[in-house]
Amino acid sequence: MKPVSFVFIRLGIGISMLGHGLVRIPKLSAFSAGMVGNFSESILPELLVTPFSLVLPFLELMLGLALILGWKTRIAGISGALLMLLLMFGTSMIENWSALPSQMIHLLFFVLVYEFNEVNTFSLDASNPSAK
C-alpha cells in the first residue's frame, strides 16, 4: 500500500470515530439512556450497558484523535477493532441487523490501519518510530 493511500484510510476512520464521539458527548445522558433502553430486553444486564454507554463516546473521540494525528496508530487500530467487535456483539444481542454492515466496514478499516501501519509516514508516529 502506498503511504498516501494509508493516510486516506487512517483519516477516514479517524474522522468517523471523532465525529461519533463529538456528537455524543454533549448529549451523553440522553445517549446513554437511549442505549440502555435499546438493550433493556437483551440478555446484557444494565449493569454492563450503562458504564459502556457512558465511556463509548470518549473512546470514540480518543481513537479518532489518535488516528487523525497518526499517534500510536498500531495500538489505535487494534483498540478500534476490539471496540467494533464489542459493538457488533451488542448489535447482535438486540438484533439490529441493519447496523452490522456499517460496523463491519469500520472493523475492516481498523484492520487495514493495523495491517499496513509500516507505511504510516505522514503521522506523529513517523517522527518517533519507537512510539508506534
**pLDDT tens-digit map of 66-125:** 999 999 999 999 999 999 999 999 999 999 999 999 999 999 999 999 999 999 999 999
User: Percent of the chain scored above 90 by pLDDT?
Assistant: 94
Which residues, 6+ apart, have CB-to-CB distance to 95 below 8 Å? none
Please give the single-letter amino acid code of residue 125.
D
Q: What pLDDT is recorded for position 132?
A: 52
How confident is the model over 15-32, as a mean pLDDT? 98
How does the average pLDDT of the chain come out, rounded?
Answer: 96
pLDDT at position 92 is 98
The answer on pLDDT for 131 being more than 80 is no
pLDDT in the model for residue 128 = 76
**Phi, then psi, of 116 in degrees rounded to 5:** -110, 25
Average pLDDT over residues 37-46: 97
**Please, what's the b/e burial string for 44-63 (b: 16 or more CB within 10 A of its CB; e: otherwise)?**
beeeebeebbeebbebbbeb
Structure pTM?
A: 0.93
CB 48 within 8 A of CB 85: no
**What's the rounded mean pLDDT across residues 37-64?**
97
Amino acid residing at 47: L
List of residues 6+ apart from 121 with CB closer than 8 A: 3, 6
- Cα of 20 vs its chain's centroid, Å: 9
